[in-house]
Amino acid sequence: MIKVNEKIAIEHGLKKDEYKKICELLKRTPNITELGIFSAMWNEHCSYKSSKIHLKKLNTKSDKVIQGPGENAGVIDIGDNDAIVFKIESHNHPSFIEPYQGAATGVGGILRDVFTMGARPIANLNSIHFGSPSNKKTKNLLRGVVQGIGGYGNCIGVPTIAGQTSFDESYNGNILVNAMTLGLVKKNKIFYSKAAGLNKPVIYVGSKTGRDGIHGASMASAKFDDKIEEKKPTVQVGDPFTEKLLLEACLELMKDDSIIAIQDMGAAGLTSSSVEMASKGKLGIELFLDKVPCREENMTPYEIMLSESQERMLIVLENGKEKKAKEIFDKWNLDFSIIGKTTNSKNIELYFNNENVANIPIDFLSEQAPEYDRKWKKSKTPQKIKFKKKDFKKLKITEALKKIISSPNICSKEWIWEQYDHTVMGDTIQKPGGDAGVVRVHGTEKAVAASVDSSAAYCYAHPLSGGKQIVCETWRNLISVGSKPIAITNCLNFGNPEKPENMGEFVECVEGLNEASKYLNFPVVSGNVSFYNETKDKGIKPTPTIGGVGIIKNYKDMVTMDLKNIGNLILVVGKTEGNLDQSIFAKEILNEKKGPPPDVNLFNEKNNGEAIMKLIENKLILSAHDVSLGGIITGISKMCIKGNKGIKFYKLKGLIDKFEYFFSEDQGRYIIEIKKESLEKVKEILDKNSNHYDLLGEVVKDSVIIDGEPTLQVDKLREYNKSWLIKYMVN
C-alpha cells in the first residue's frame, strides 16, 4: 500500500494547501484510494473551482427552460409535451494525445450525458480547432479527430448535422475538440441524477471496468510538456457498438418507474457518478468494489474508482425492480451488477474483499471542495487601425475574394463533414455547410435547428466584445434558417486560470456572454469549462464555443442559404459601418492582425433578428445568410456557390469605401433574397421596424459581376472555396 504524503498529493494534481485542507477535514491522512477520490473531485474539470464563482452570474432561466445548469444536460420545452435535451463538452487534452480515441470518446461521453436524461439522441455537432496548417502535427491531428468523430457517431447511428473547424497557431500545442449532442424526450419522462430514498439498490451497467482513462479528469486540468506521450494511458478507449446497446437498454428500462436516479460514468468514472448522485440527494452511498465487473485482473480499489472506461452507467433503482432490470441488460448482452445501496450516513463508504478501504463525508468532496476567486487582469481595448486609401489602391475586390474564400478558416469544410453520416435516422432536413443544421421532430411538423460557433480572434482582441459577439453569431445562425432561438450551451476553452491575464480573459468573456444572453432572452442551460489549455507555458487564444438551439414550428418554413432564382433581389439588412479591424480581409490581404473586434450593438442585433423572423413568417424571404467572417462579399459568394447562381452588384451609394463595404465584419447583418414584387412589402416591414437595409444587387445566371472588376465565374469561385482543404489533406 502506497503511503500518502504531500509529494504524492502534488503528483495527483492537488496543491499543498488543498492537501492540508483534506487532512484537516478528515482529521487524519487519507489513504491512497481516498486521495485519488479527492484529487478527482477537487480537480478543475469536476469541481469548477476557478470558474463557478463567475458561472453563477449567467442568465439560465426563461419560460422555455425545464432544466438549467447542474444536471447532465440542459432541457428546453418545444411544445406538445416534447423537450430537447442538449449539451456541449470538451475533450481537448485526450484528443491531442491520441486524436482518434480522444475525439471518439468525446462524442461517446456527450451522447451518454443526453440519453442519461431519458432522451433519444437525434443530432451531433462539433467545434474543432487545430494549429497552423504549416505545423507538422496539424494534418495528422485533423485526420485522426475527424475519423474519431465519424467513427463513433456513424456507428452509433446519430447524424452529425453541423460543425465548425478553424486553424490558428495558438492551437499548435493544444487542439480543441468540443462535441455537442441533442436528444428528444417527452416532458414527463425526463430522468435526473439526484438519488432518493434509503437502502435503494445501486446498479452498475454497461461495459466492464478496465485501467484505461485512470486520471483522465486530472489530466484534463494539467498543462502539457515534453512528456506528453506518457499520458496516453489516461485516454479512454471507446466502443460505439456497446454504447448503442447501452442506449437502447437504458431507454427500455426508462419506460416505467424503475429508475430513481441515473448518472453516466464520465470524468472520474465511478467516483464522480456515485458522489454526485449522493450529494444531490443529501444521502450516503455504500459500494462493494469487488462486485464491480472488471475486465483486467487484480484491479485495486483505487483503479476501480478512478477508471474512466467508457460505456458505463450508475443507476439507483426502486426496490424490487432488480430482476426486471437485469433481464433487460442481459437481453442487450451488457454487464449488470448490484454494487451497493443508498444510506443515511452522508458518507461514501467503499468496501473491497470485506475490508473498508475508504470512508469520506460526501460534503467534503462536493460542498467543501475549493472555490477560488482568482486574481484577474482587465484587458485593454486595442487602438483602431487607421487604414489608408493607398492600402487598397492596387487591390482588386475579386482577387481579394479569391484569396479569402480559399483561406483555411473560410474555405469549404466539405472534406470533413462528408465523412460524417448526416442522413441516418431520416430526419435531417438541412445538412452541414449552412448557417445551422436542422432535424425534423419525427412524426410532427416541428423541426429543431442547431448551430455551433466560436470567436477566438475577437475574444483575444477584446474578451468582453468577443463574448457578446459569439452569442449574437449563434442567434443569427439560428434565425437565418427560419428558427426561433431558444437557448444555448457553452464550452469555454481557456489557458491557465492561475495567470491573471488568462483569468481576466475568462471573466470578461463570461460577462459579455451573459450580457448578450440576457438581452436576447437566450439563456445558458448547460456547459463546460476547459482550463489549462497550454503547452510549455504557451496558452491558446481564449475560445468560447457556443451551441445554440432554435425551433421551427413547421419544417416547411425552413430557410436555406442557396440562391434560388434569376432576377430576384438581394438585400443586406443591418448597417455596414466599414470596420475592418480583426477582419479576415485585414489578416489575409493586408497582413494586419491588430485592432479591436467589431462593436456589438445588442439593440440592433435583436431588432434586425426580429425583423428577419417577421419577414420569414410572412414568407417573403427565399434565402438568407448572416454576415460574419469575410464580410458581405464572402457571405454572398457562399450563397452563390450553394445555389449555383451569380449576382450582379448595383453601384454602391454613400461615402463608404468599397473594400470597407464588402469586407468589413460589422455585426448584426443578414443577406436576404426576395422576389422583385415583394420589395415594397419588405421595405414596409423594415421601415416600420426602423431597420437599416441596402439593396445590394440581383441574382444572375452564373457570374459575380462588380462594376469595374473582372467578372468571376461561380464555378471558379466554388473551385477556390473547395480546393484548399482537399489539397492540404491529400498532399
Beta bridge partners of 124: 160, 181
Residue 109 makes CB contacts below 8 A (sequence gap 6+) with 89, 91, 179, 264, 266, 267, 310
Backbone phi and psi for residue 420, each to the nearest 5 degrees, phi listed first: -100, 140
User: Strands (DSSP E) along 416-542, which ranges?
Assistant: 428-430, 437-440, 447-454, 484-493, 524-530, 534-535, 538-539
φ, ψ for residue 488, nearest 5 deg = -130, 160
Question: Any idea what DSSP says for residue 153?
Answer: H
Beta-bridged to residue 316, according to DSSP, are 202, 261
CA distances from 110 to 73, 185, 197, 209, 526 (A): 9, 16, 28, 19, 12
The owner of cell 439563456 is 523
Which residues lie closer than 8 Å to 680 by C-beta, 6 or more apart? none
Question: Closest Cα partner for 262 from 317, 199, 198, 217?
Answer: 317
Distance CA 488, CA 347 (A): 35
What distance in Å separates the CA atoms of residue 156 and residue 95, rounded to the nearest whole number?
Answer: 20
Nearest to 55 by CA among 502, 612, 491: 491
Residues 6+ apart with CB under 8 A from 391: 590
Exposed (0-12), middle (13-18) or buried (19+): which is 433, by Cβ within 10 Å?
Answer: buried
Q: What 3 state SS string does 680-700 have?
A: HHHHHHHHHCCCCEEEEEEEE
Point out the residues that are catalytic: 45, 91
The grid coordinates listed for 68 are 438549467
CA gap 35, 42 in Å, rounded: 10
542 DSSP assignment: P
Strand order of the β-sheet with 355-361 is 259-264, 312-317, 201-206, 335-343, 284-288, 347-352, 355-361
